[in-house]
Chain A
Amino acid sequence: MAENLTISQLNKLGERLRRDPDNKDDLRALDAFRSSFAAACERVSDELSKLGLEPVSRPAKTTLSIIAKLNRERSRLSKMQDIAGCRVKVNGVEKQDRVVSDVLATFPDAVISDRRIKPSNGYRAVHVVVRIDGLFVEIQIRTLLQHEWASAMERLADDVNPEIKYGGGPARIQQIAKALSNAIRETENYEVKIMHDIRAREQKGASDKELNMAETLEGQMMANLKKGLQELVNQLTILALQEVKSRDFPN
Protein backbone atom coordinates (compact mmCIF):
# COMPACT_ATOMS: atom_id res chain seq x y z
CA MET A 1 0.00 0.00 0.00
CA ALA A 2 1.11 3.52 -0.79
CA GLU A 3 2.97 5.83 1.55
CA ASN A 4 3.98 2.95 3.82
CA LEU A 5 0.52 2.61 5.33
CA THR A 6 -0.70 -0.94 5.78
CA ILE A 7 -4.28 -1.77 4.81
CA SER A 8 -5.17 -1.90 8.48
CA GLN A 9 -3.56 1.51 9.17
CA LEU A 10 -5.38 2.97 6.19
CA ASN A 11 -8.74 1.66 7.36
CA LYS A 12 -8.10 2.99 10.87
CA LEU A 13 -7.29 6.36 9.31
CA GLY A 14 -10.64 6.24 7.52
CA GLU A 15 -12.43 5.39 10.78
CA ARG A 16 -10.79 8.30 12.58
CA LEU A 17 -11.65 10.72 9.77
CA ARG A 18 -15.23 9.55 9.87
CA ARG A 19 -15.37 10.51 13.55
CA ASP A 20 -13.25 13.67 13.37
CA PRO A 21 -12.76 15.14 9.88
CA ASP A 22 -10.75 18.09 11.23
CA ASN A 23 -7.85 16.24 12.82
CA LYS A 24 -4.82 17.81 11.16
CA ASP A 25 -2.47 14.81 11.52
CA ASP A 26 -5.07 12.55 9.91
CA LEU A 27 -5.72 15.07 7.14
CA ARG A 28 -1.98 15.15 6.44
CA ALA A 29 -1.87 11.34 6.36
CA LEU A 30 -4.86 11.26 4.00
CA ASP A 31 -3.22 13.82 1.77
CA ALA A 32 0.01 11.81 1.60
CA PHE A 33 -2.00 8.71 0.70
CA ARG A 34 -3.98 10.51 -1.98
CA SER A 35 -0.91 12.18 -3.43
CA SER A 36 0.64 8.77 -3.99
CA PHE A 37 -1.92 8.20 -6.78
CA ALA A 38 -0.65 11.10 -8.89
CA ALA A 39 1.82 9.10 -11.01
CA ALA A 40 -0.70 6.30 -11.68
CA CYS A 41 -3.34 8.84 -12.64
CA GLU A 42 -0.92 10.65 -14.95
CA ARG A 43 -0.03 7.37 -16.67
CA VAL A 44 -3.73 6.61 -17.30
CA SER A 45 -4.34 10.14 -18.54
CA ASP A 46 -1.38 9.86 -20.94
CA GLU A 47 -2.66 6.56 -22.32
CA LEU A 48 -6.14 8.03 -22.84
CA SER A 49 -4.60 10.99 -24.69
CA LYS A 50 -2.74 8.53 -26.93
CA LEU A 51 -6.16 7.07 -27.83
CA GLY A 52 -7.14 10.49 -29.15
CA LEU A 53 -9.27 11.37 -26.13
CA GLU A 54 -9.23 14.53 -24.03
CA PRO A 55 -9.19 13.28 -20.46
CA VAL A 56 -9.52 15.52 -17.45
CA SER A 57 -8.04 13.90 -14.41
CA ARG A 58 -8.69 14.28 -10.74
CA PRO A 59 -5.64 12.68 -9.17
CA ALA A 60 -7.18 12.73 -5.70
CA LYS A 61 -10.79 12.51 -4.53
CA THR A 62 -11.69 15.45 -2.30
CA THR A 63 -11.71 15.10 1.48
CA LEU A 64 -15.39 16.03 1.48
CA SER A 65 -16.21 13.22 -0.96
CA ILE A 66 -14.03 10.64 0.82
CA ILE A 67 -15.58 11.34 4.21
CA ALA A 68 -19.09 11.41 2.73
CA LYS A 69 -18.46 8.04 1.08
CA LEU A 70 -17.01 6.56 4.29
CA ASN A 71 -20.16 7.65 6.12
CA ARG A 72 -22.66 6.80 3.38
CA GLU A 73 -21.49 3.34 2.43
CA ARG A 74 -19.66 2.41 5.62
CA SER A 75 -16.90 1.52 3.21
CA ARG A 76 -13.24 1.15 4.06
CA LEU A 77 -10.64 3.63 2.85
CA SER A 78 -8.41 0.83 1.52
CA LYS A 79 -11.27 -0.46 -0.66
CA MET A 80 -12.06 2.82 -2.44
CA GLN A 81 -11.42 2.43 -6.13
CA ASP A 82 -12.11 6.03 -7.10
CA ILE A 83 -9.50 7.92 -5.08
CA ALA A 84 -7.97 8.86 -8.45
CA GLY A 85 -9.95 9.21 -11.63
CA CYS A 86 -10.10 10.44 -15.19
CA ARG A 87 -13.19 11.52 -17.10
CA VAL A 88 -13.78 11.52 -20.84
CA LYS A 89 -16.80 12.59 -22.90
CA VAL A 90 -17.63 10.88 -26.16
CA ASN A 91 -20.20 11.39 -28.86
CA GLY A 92 -22.73 8.56 -28.60
CA VAL A 93 -22.96 4.99 -27.36
CA GLU A 94 -21.15 3.40 -30.32
CA LYS A 95 -18.12 5.62 -29.69
CA GLN A 96 -18.42 4.87 -25.95
CA ASP A 97 -18.23 1.12 -26.69
CA ARG A 98 -15.20 1.64 -28.95
CA VAL A 99 -13.42 3.66 -26.27
CA VAL A 100 -14.13 0.95 -23.67
CA SER A 101 -12.60 -1.64 -26.06
CA ASP A 102 -9.57 0.58 -26.64
CA VAL A 103 -9.08 1.08 -22.91
CA LEU A 104 -9.31 -2.69 -22.35
CA ALA A 105 -6.73 -3.26 -25.08
CA THR A 106 -4.42 -0.80 -23.29
CA PHE A 107 -5.13 -2.13 -19.79
CA PRO A 108 -6.12 -5.81 -20.24
CA ASP A 109 -6.69 -6.35 -16.50
CA ALA A 110 -9.13 -3.46 -16.21
CA VAL A 111 -12.54 -4.09 -14.67
CA ILE A 112 -15.64 -2.67 -16.36
CA SER A 113 -18.68 -1.38 -14.52
CA ASP A 114 -21.34 -0.76 -17.15
CA ARG A 115 -23.80 1.56 -15.47
CA ARG A 116 -25.81 1.85 -18.65
CA ILE A 117 -27.07 -1.67 -17.93
CA LYS A 118 -27.22 -1.18 -14.17
CA PRO A 119 -27.69 2.55 -13.52
CA SER A 120 -27.00 3.92 -10.08
CA ASN A 121 -29.97 6.14 -9.09
CA GLY A 122 -30.37 7.04 -12.76
CA TYR A 123 -26.64 7.68 -13.29
CA ARG A 124 -25.52 6.06 -16.53
CA ALA A 125 -21.96 5.80 -17.86
CA VAL A 126 -19.24 3.19 -18.23
CA HIS A 127 -16.61 3.11 -15.51
CA VAL A 128 -13.39 1.22 -16.08
CA VAL A 129 -11.11 0.62 -13.12
CA VAL A 130 -7.45 0.04 -13.97
CA ARG A 131 -4.70 -0.93 -11.57
CA ILE A 132 -1.28 0.67 -11.85
CA ASP A 133 1.45 -0.44 -9.41
CA GLY A 134 -1.21 -1.65 -6.99
CA LEU A 135 -3.22 1.60 -7.15
CA PHE A 136 -6.71 1.88 -8.62
CA VAL A 137 -7.60 4.60 -11.12
CA GLU A 138 -11.20 4.92 -12.25
CA ILE A 139 -11.94 6.06 -15.80
CA GLN A 140 -15.42 7.50 -16.32
CA ILE A 141 -16.54 7.28 -19.94
CA ARG A 142 -19.73 9.25 -20.58
CA THR A 143 -21.70 10.19 -23.67
CA LEU A 144 -22.63 13.84 -24.05
CA LEU A 145 -26.20 13.26 -22.84
CA GLN A 146 -25.13 11.00 -19.96
CA HIS A 147 -22.64 13.68 -18.95
CA GLU A 148 -25.19 16.51 -19.03
CA TRP A 149 -27.55 14.46 -16.88
CA ALA A 150 -24.79 13.64 -14.37
CA SER A 151 -23.60 17.26 -14.26
CA ALA A 152 -27.13 18.50 -13.62
CA MET A 153 -27.58 16.05 -10.75
CA GLU A 154 -24.18 16.89 -9.26
CA ARG A 155 -24.99 20.59 -9.32
CA LEU A 156 -28.49 20.05 -7.94
CA ALA A 157 -26.91 18.05 -5.12
CA ASP A 158 -24.78 21.13 -4.35
CA ASP A 159 -27.66 23.58 -4.63
CA VAL A 160 -30.62 21.64 -3.25
CA ASN A 161 -29.70 18.50 -1.32
CA PRO A 162 -26.54 16.31 -1.39
CA GLU A 163 -28.76 13.21 -1.23
CA ILE A 164 -30.07 13.91 -4.75
CA LYS A 165 -27.04 12.07 -6.16
CA TYR A 166 -27.91 8.99 -4.14
CA GLY A 167 -31.63 8.73 -4.80
CA GLY A 168 -32.77 11.05 -2.00
CA GLY A 169 -33.90 14.66 -1.79
CA PRO A 170 -37.14 16.00 -3.29
CA ALA A 171 -39.19 13.04 -4.60
CA ARG A 172 -40.49 14.87 -7.68
CA ILE A 173 -36.95 15.77 -8.79
CA GLN A 174 -35.92 12.12 -8.40
CA GLN A 175 -38.93 10.98 -10.40
CA ILE A 176 -38.30 13.35 -13.31
CA ALA A 177 -34.53 12.79 -13.23
CA LYS A 178 -34.99 9.01 -13.47
CA ALA A 179 -37.55 9.40 -16.27
CA LEU A 180 -35.05 11.63 -18.08
CA SER A 181 -32.27 9.08 -17.59
CA ASN A 182 -34.54 6.39 -19.11
CA ALA A 183 -35.45 8.68 -22.00
CA ILE A 184 -31.75 9.30 -22.67
CA ARG A 185 -31.17 5.52 -22.71
CA GLU A 186 -34.01 5.01 -25.19
CA THR A 187 -32.78 7.81 -27.44
CA GLU A 188 -29.17 6.65 -27.39
CA ASN A 189 -30.14 3.04 -28.05
CA TYR A 190 -32.36 4.11 -30.91
CA GLU A 191 -29.47 6.07 -32.44
CA VAL A 192 -27.42 2.85 -32.35
CA LYS A 193 -30.29 0.91 -33.93
CA ILE A 194 -30.56 3.47 -36.75
CA MET A 195 -26.83 3.17 -37.46
CA HIS A 196 -27.09 -0.65 -37.57
CA ASP A 197 -30.15 -0.51 -39.85
CA ILE A 198 -28.50 1.97 -42.22
CA ARG A 199 -25.50 -0.35 -42.57
CA ALA A 200 -27.80 -3.35 -43.09
CA ARG A 201 -29.72 -1.51 -45.84
CA GLU A 202 -26.48 -0.51 -47.52
CA GLN A 203 -25.26 -4.12 -47.49
CA LYS A 204 -28.58 -5.39 -48.77
CA GLY A 205 -28.72 -2.81 -51.55
CA ALA A 206 -32.19 -1.59 -50.56
CA SER A 207 -34.39 0.16 -53.14
CA ASP A 208 -35.02 3.92 -53.05
CA LYS A 209 -38.60 3.28 -51.91
CA GLU A 210 -37.44 1.09 -49.03
CA LEU A 211 -34.81 3.68 -48.07
CA ASN A 212 -37.33 6.53 -48.08
CA MET A 213 -39.85 4.59 -45.99
CA ALA A 214 -37.23 3.57 -43.43
CA GLU A 215 -35.81 7.09 -43.16
CA THR A 216 -39.27 8.58 -42.68
CA LEU A 217 -40.13 6.11 -39.92
CA GLU A 218 -36.77 6.61 -38.21
CA GLY A 219 -37.16 10.38 -38.44
CA GLN A 220 -40.62 10.26 -36.86
CA MET A 221 -39.46 7.96 -34.07
CA MET A 222 -36.44 10.13 -33.34
CA ALA A 223 -38.58 13.28 -33.34
CA ASN A 224 -40.88 11.67 -30.74
CA LEU A 225 -37.96 10.63 -28.56
CA LYS A 226 -36.45 14.10 -28.85
CA LYS A 227 -39.77 15.72 -27.91
CA GLY A 228 -40.05 13.46 -24.84
CA LEU A 229 -36.50 14.33 -23.81
CA GLN A 230 -37.11 18.05 -24.22
CA GLU A 231 -40.30 17.91 -22.14
CA LEU A 232 -38.49 16.12 -19.30
CA VAL A 233 -35.57 18.58 -19.40
CA ASN A 234 -38.08 21.44 -19.21
CA GLN A 235 -39.90 19.84 -16.28
CA LEU A 236 -36.64 19.22 -14.44
CA THR A 237 -35.55 22.81 -15.07
CA ILE A 238 -38.78 24.22 -13.61
CA LEU A 239 -38.58 21.95 -10.56
CA ALA A 240 -34.89 22.66 -10.03
CA LEU A 241 -35.36 26.41 -10.20
CA GLN A 242 -38.26 26.21 -7.72
CA GLU A 243 -36.15 24.18 -5.30
CA VAL A 244 -33.09 26.43 -5.64
CA LYS A 245 -35.23 29.53 -5.18
CA SER A 246 -36.96 28.13 -2.09
CA ARG A 247 -33.56 27.51 -0.53
CA ASP A 248 -32.18 30.93 -1.47
CA PHE A 249 -35.33 32.74 -0.33
CA PRO A 250 -37.05 30.58 2.32
CA ASN A 251 -40.48 31.73 3.51
Chain B
Amino acid sequence: MLLFKPFKAEQRAEAQRERLEIELSLNGSRGSREVVLLEAHDEEALHRTHQRYFKTSREILESMSALVSAIP
Protein backbone atom coordinates (compact mmCIF):
# COMPACT_ATOMS: atom_id res chain seq x y z
CA MET B 1 0.00 0.00 0.00
CA LEU B 2 1.29 3.46 -0.90
CA LEU B 3 0.47 6.68 0.90
CA PHE B 4 1.60 9.59 -1.23
CA LYS B 5 1.72 13.21 -0.08
CA PRO B 6 3.03 16.02 -2.29
CA PHE B 7 4.75 19.12 -0.87
CA LYS B 8 5.75 22.32 -2.61
CA ALA B 9 9.44 23.24 -2.88
CA GLU B 10 9.12 25.86 -0.14
CA GLN B 11 7.64 23.23 2.21
CA ARG B 12 10.81 21.17 2.42
CA ALA B 13 11.26 21.71 6.17
CA GLU B 14 7.64 20.74 6.78
CA ALA B 15 8.07 17.59 4.69
CA GLN B 16 11.20 16.65 6.67
CA ARG B 17 9.33 17.21 9.96
CA GLU B 18 6.44 15.08 8.79
CA ARG B 19 8.77 12.31 7.66
CA LEU B 20 10.36 12.27 11.12
CA GLU B 21 6.97 12.15 12.84
CA ILE B 22 5.94 9.14 10.76
CA GLU B 23 9.32 7.48 11.39
CA LEU B 24 8.88 7.92 15.14
CA SER B 25 5.40 6.40 15.00
CA LEU B 26 6.57 3.21 13.28
CA ASN B 27 7.49 1.41 16.47
CA GLY B 28 7.88 -2.29 15.74
CA SER B 29 6.74 -2.09 12.12
CA ARG B 30 9.85 -0.44 10.69
CA GLY B 31 10.91 -3.57 8.81
CA SER B 32 7.81 -3.51 6.61
CA ARG B 33 7.32 0.23 6.07
CA GLU B 34 9.44 2.76 4.28
CA VAL B 35 9.16 6.53 4.57
CA VAL B 36 10.87 8.31 1.70
CA LEU B 37 11.18 11.93 0.72
CA LEU B 38 11.78 12.50 -2.99
CA GLU B 39 12.20 15.75 -4.91
CA ALA B 40 11.25 16.15 -8.54
CA HIS B 41 10.14 18.78 -10.97
CA ASP B 42 6.75 17.09 -11.20
CA GLU B 43 4.99 13.90 -10.17
CA GLU B 44 5.42 12.33 -13.59
CA ALA B 45 9.20 12.48 -13.22
CA LEU B 46 8.88 10.63 -9.92
CA HIS B 47 6.87 7.88 -11.58
CA ARG B 48 9.54 7.55 -14.26
CA THR B 49 12.54 7.26 -11.95
CA HIS B 50 10.94 5.51 -8.95
CA GLN B 51 8.51 3.05 -10.53
CA ARG B 52 8.92 0.68 -7.62
CA TYR B 53 6.67 2.85 -5.46
CA PHE B 54 3.91 3.20 -8.04
CA LYS B 55 3.78 0.01 -10.10
CA THR B 56 3.46 -3.72 -9.43
CA SER B 57 6.16 -6.20 -10.49
CA ARG B 58 3.95 -7.20 -13.41
CA GLU B 59 3.48 -3.59 -14.57
CA ILE B 60 7.21 -2.88 -14.44
CA LEU B 61 8.03 -6.03 -16.40
CA GLU B 62 5.31 -5.19 -18.94
CA SER B 63 6.79 -1.73 -19.31
CA MET B 64 10.20 -3.35 -19.88
CA SER B 65 8.69 -5.64 -22.49
CA ALA B 66 7.19 -2.62 -24.28
CA LEU B 67 10.58 -0.89 -24.20
CA VAL B 68 12.24 -3.93 -25.77
CA SER B 69 9.54 -4.09 -28.45
CA ALA B 70 10.22 -0.45 -29.31
CA ILE B 71 13.93 -1.09 -30.04
CA PRO B 72 14.26 -0.41 -33.80
Contacts and interface: CB of A to CB of B under 8 A. Distances in A.
A144 B68 CA distance: 10
A126 to B, nearest CB: 15
Size category, B interface: 35 or more
Interface string B3-26: 000000000100010011001101
Contacts of B72: 222
When A and B form their complex, which 7 residue pairs have the shortest distance between CB atoms, in order from nearest? A148-B64, A56-B49, A56-B40, A154-B52, A151-B51, A237-B61, A57-B39
Given A56-B49, A158-B52, A241-B58, A152 B64 contact: yes
Contact of B31 (A64, A87, A152): A64
Interface string A132-169: 00000000000011011101101110111000000000
Interface stretch (A1-9, A105-113, A228-236): A228-236
Contacts, number: 123
Contact of A45 (B34, B39, B67): B39
Given A22-B30, A56-B50, 16 more contacts: A28-B24, A31-B23, A45-B39, A49-B41, A59-B39, A60-B19, A63-B35, A64-B30, A87-B50, A89-B48, A147-B49, A151-B60, A155-B56, A226-B68, A234-B65, A241-B57
Contacts of B34: 62, 64-65
Given A22-B27, A64-B31, A149-B64, A244 B57 contact: yes
B65 A237 contact: yes
A58 B64 contact: no
Given A31-B16, A59-B37, A24 B24 contact: yes
A187 interface: yes
Interface residues of A, number: 52
Interface of B: 12, 16, 19-20, 23-24, 26-28, 30-31, 33-41, 45-46, 48-52, 55-58, 60-65, 67-69, 71-72
A58 B37 contact: yes
B39 A56 contact: yes
Nearest to A68: B31
A27 B52 contact: no
B29 to A, nearest CB: 9
A88 B26 CA distance: 31
Interface string A4-46: 0000000000000000011010011001000100100110010
A47 interface: no
A54 interface: yes
A155 B51 CA distance: 8
